[in-house]
Amino acid sequence: MSRKAPAYVTTPIYYVNDRPHIGHAYTTTLCDVWARAMRLDGRDVFFLTGTDEHGVKVEKSAQERGITPQALADENSAEFRKVMTTFGLTNDDFIRTTEPRHESQVKLFVKRLLASGDIYLGEFEGWYDEGQEEYVTDTRAKDLEFKSPISGRPLVRAKEHNYYFRLSAYQARLEAFFAANPGFVRPAGRFNEVLGRMREGLQDVPVTRTNFTWGIGMPGAPEHVIYVWIDALFNYATALGLGEPDGALAKERAKYWPPEYHVIGKEILWFHAVIWPALLMALDLPTPRCIYAHSFWISNGQKMSKSLGNFVDLPTIESYIAKYGLDAWRWYMTTQGPLGATDADFSPRHFHEIYTANLVNTFANCASRTSAMIEKYFGGVMPTGETASMPISAVEGAPTWSAFTSDAATKVIGHYADFELAEAADAALAVVRAVDAIINETQPFKLAKDPTRMDEVARILSACAEGVRVAAVLLTPIMPTKCSEVLAAYGSMVATDGDMIEAARWGGLKAGGRIAKCAPFMRVDAPVA
Ligand code: MSP
């Protein structure tokens, strides 16, 4: 049984008019690392991803291919789902917006909003970004010189008879909510960005369209189709059954609400940070704790785009996995990605350098050196040696191994929980670095030449082995396969859910246990061409 509060983490649901690429793989991998870490830390996690299947873009792409929108959605959604399996992602559900369970609940939500007066029928004229399927305010349109900030294409003047959501009525509540929750949007720079735009004044937003048919019909007025963004945002709630609070699904899953993290890319922040909480306020549902909007992967300094054809697509990702392994890919995503406010450049050379420096020369080298010396001097058997009270170095005031690793474990878990994933990785790797440092400082391979010093060698190497084990436990959420390989070679149990702190406690390896030689990452000659 879980000791701590249930946790809910989500990715955006991905458009089916596109094929999976690094952007989708990135967000989903981050959520997977978080979900695995929180499960290991004893939380009952629900991790959701899925596909966004309605809207004009899907309708158009399907038309171009001469197939029905549903056929296109089925095909590409399956592709996304396959990616989850290829990447070993641990999502608990995969929601599709064309599923009856989603459609029926969206209608129920919309009916409630009609009844409360939060949705009304009205007329609207304004500047429209066709690529984004989004209206922009007059002020913003002027600032943007009447061009889409995403596609660069001109904004068009559009007029519609539509249903609207009374977003303007939530201005004061949203501002108060932002003031009370400075961590609601992360990273911090994005929080200020949204707040600034919000202070320009909120306009009501259309929630239906009449210019296409591929979507969920408006209850009572089927000629109006629910706008794809409203339809899509609700996925986070329909997956837990919240549209039917007395239904079987809600009974099982409502406990996960509200989400701890909605992880998204920066381009869809407005919908998540402003429209979504307002919709939830209107429905009297608790708001998410944090919208984490990461920046973008770019390619050799340039934005990835279909027209430039420089997307790191699925076959490219697969070539990295074939060469370096899935865990190396996860390591690179987690530690080098654009989780902060700036974009990150994806380059084959940088990937190669990080792989070699962190995984081959640090993690694998340490695991393999330690196991090789134990093999050589102790026949592959964990030597006897009291290590808990041993300092990690001869430097004055150095902490003991048990204090150092317990502090590292607390830090690592704290970073995971706070979605500081690169920091979590670094704090875990610090344990490996400490093991490396003690090997370099004490040079057990030299001491071992003197038979009278074998007790010392035994003590050093058992500390090293235990250090490698602790690091492997802490790195498990990022590199599950390689870490279990190392743990198995070291004769240690893999960390199980709810067990991270316990598993990371100093002293897990017992004298007399078998330590097999292992080298979790092998040198790779040259970057992916
Ligand atoms: N369907 C909407 C989301 C609805 S959520 C209620 C959508 N889909 S999308 O297929 O375009 O996916 C967008 C998401 O993909 C981004 O928010 C981000 O998570 C990811 N990425 C797409 N390109 C990216 C990069 N170049 N870099 C990093 N991630 C980016 O928008």
Instruction: List pLDDT tens digits, range 82-133.
Output: 988 889 999 999 999 999 999 999 999 999 999 999 999 998 789 999 888 8
Those residues with Cβ within 8 angstroms of residue 254's Cβ, 6 or more apart along the chain or in another chain: 240, 241, 242, 245
> Does any domain span residue 46?
no
Give the burial class of 430: count Cβ atoms within 10 A of its Cβ; 0-12 exposed, 13-18 middle, 19 or more buried: middle
**233 Cβ closer than 6 Å to some ligand 1 atom:** yes
72 Cα–ligand 1 center, Å: 19
CB-CB contact of 267 with 15 (8 Å): no
Q: What is the mean pLDDT of residues 507-525?
A: 95
Global pTM reads 0.94
Residue linked to tokens 């940088």? 350
Give the burial class of 526: count Cβ atoms within 10 A of its Cβ; 0-12 exposed, 13-18 middle, 19 or more buried: exposed
pLDDT at 257 over 90: yes
**227 Cβ closer than 6 Å to some ligand 1 atom:** no
> Does any domain span residue 116?
no
Which of the four pLDDT bands, split at 50, 70 and 90, describes residue 3? Answer: low
For every residue of 244-274, which 3-state class applies, written as one string?
Answer: CCCCHHHHHHHHHCCCCEEEEEHHHHHHHHH
pLDDT at 384 over 70: yes
Token pair of 296 as six digits: 């973008």
Per DSSP, the three-state class of 88 is coil
Single-letter amino acid, residue 438: I
Taking CA atoms, 386 is separated from 378, 440, 511, in Å, by 16, 20, 10
Q: How many domains does the chain have?
A: 1
Single-letter amino acid, residue 131: G
Out of 9, 14, 77, give the residue to mutate to test ligand 1, the one with the largest number of ligand atoms within 8 Å of its CB.
Answer: 14
Nearest CA to ligand 1 atom 16: 265
* Cα gap 60→130, rounded to integer Å: 12
**312 Cβ closer than 6 Å to some ligand 1 atom:** no
> Omega into 258 within 30° of 0, i.e. cis?
yes
**345 Cβ closer than 6 Å to some ligand 1 atom:** no
> Does any domain span residue 169?
no
Out of 9, 32, 49, 52, give the residue to mutate to test ligand 1, the one with the largest number of ligand atoms within 8 Å of its CB.
Answer: 52
pLDDT at 231 over 90: yes
Q: What pLDDT, on the 0 to 100 scale, is given for residue 135?
A: 86
pLDDT at 529 over 80: no
Strand 297-299 relative to strand 291-294, pairing? unpaired
pLDDT at 315 over 50: yes
Of 316, 253, 275, 270, the residue nearest 92 (C-alpha): 253
Q: Which domain holds residue 383?
A: 348-503
> Does any domain span residue 438?
yes
- Residue 135 or 511, more confident: 511
24 Cα–ligand 1 center, Å: 6
Those residues with Cβ within 8 angstroms of residue 342's Cβ, 6 or more apart along the chain or in another chain: 295
pLDDT at 239 over 60: yes
pLDDT at 73 over 90: yes
> Does any domain span residue 247?
no
Q: What is the CATH number of the domain that holds 460?
A: 1.10.730.10
**297 Cβ closer than 6 Å to some ligand 1 atom:** yes
Q: What is the mean pLDDT of residues 224-231?
A: 96
Token pair of 68 as six digits: 């029905």
**508 Cβ closer than 6 Å to some ligand 1 atom:** no
Residue linked to tokens 């922009």? 136
Taking each helix axis from N to C terminus, what angle separates 401-417 and 454-475, rounded to the nearest 10 degrees?
Answer: 10
> Does any domain span residue 375?
yes
CB-CB contact of 515 with 491 (8 Å): yes
* Cα gap 443→133, rounded to integer Å: 64
Q: What is the mean pLDDT of residues 294-321?
A: 90
266 Cα–ligand 1 center, Å: 8
Report phi then psi at 9, rounded to 5.
Answer: -130, 140
**296 Cβ closer than 6 Å to some ligand 1 atom:** yes
Model confidence over 344-353: pLDDT tens digits? 999 999 999 9
Q: What is the mean pLDDT of residues 497-518?
A: 93
Taking CA atoms, 243 is separated from 191, 256, 284, 289, 395, in Å, by 29, 14, 12, 20, 61
User: Count H helices, E strands: the chain?
Assistant: 22, 16
**24 Cβ closer than 6 Å to some ligand 1 atom:** yes
**26 Cβ closer than 6 Å to some ligand 1 atom:** yes
> Does any domain span residue 3?
no
Out of 11, 16, 27, give the residue to mutate to test ligand 1, the one with the largest number of ligand atoms within 8 Å of its CB.
Answer: 27
369 Cα–ligand 1 center, Å: 42
Report phi then psi at 226, rounded to 5.
Answer: -65, 125
> Does any domain span residue 31?
no
* Cα gap 320→521, rounded to integer Å: 14
Strand partners, 163: 121
Share the mean pLDDT of the chain. 95
**55 Cβ closer than 6 Å to some ligand 1 atom:** no
Which of the four pLDDT bands, split at 50, 70 and 90, describes residue 2? Answer: very low
CB-CB contact of 2 with 41 (8 Å): no
Nearest CA to ligand 1 atom 22: 23
Q: What pLDDT, on the 0 to 100 scale, is given for residue 391?
A: 96
Model confidence over 418-471: pLDDT tens digits? 999 999 999 999 999 999 999 999 999 999 999 999 999 999 999 999 999 999
Out of 267, 272, 308, 311, give the residue to mutate to test ligand 1, the one with the largest number of ligand atoms within 8 Å of its CB.
Answer: 267
Q: What is the DSSP code (8-state) at residue 114?
A: H
Q: For residue 267, give the ligand 1 atom closest to its CA.
A: 17
Which of the four pLDDT bands, split at 50, 70 and 90, describes residue 75? Answer: very high
Nearest CA to ligand 1 atom 20: 23
Q: What pLDDT, on the 0 to 100 scale, is given for residue 105?
A: 98
CB-CB contact of 197 with 185 (8 Å): no
| Maximum CA extent, the chain | 91
Token pair of 350 as six digits: 């940088």
**18 Cβ closer than 6 Å to some ligand 1 atom:** yes
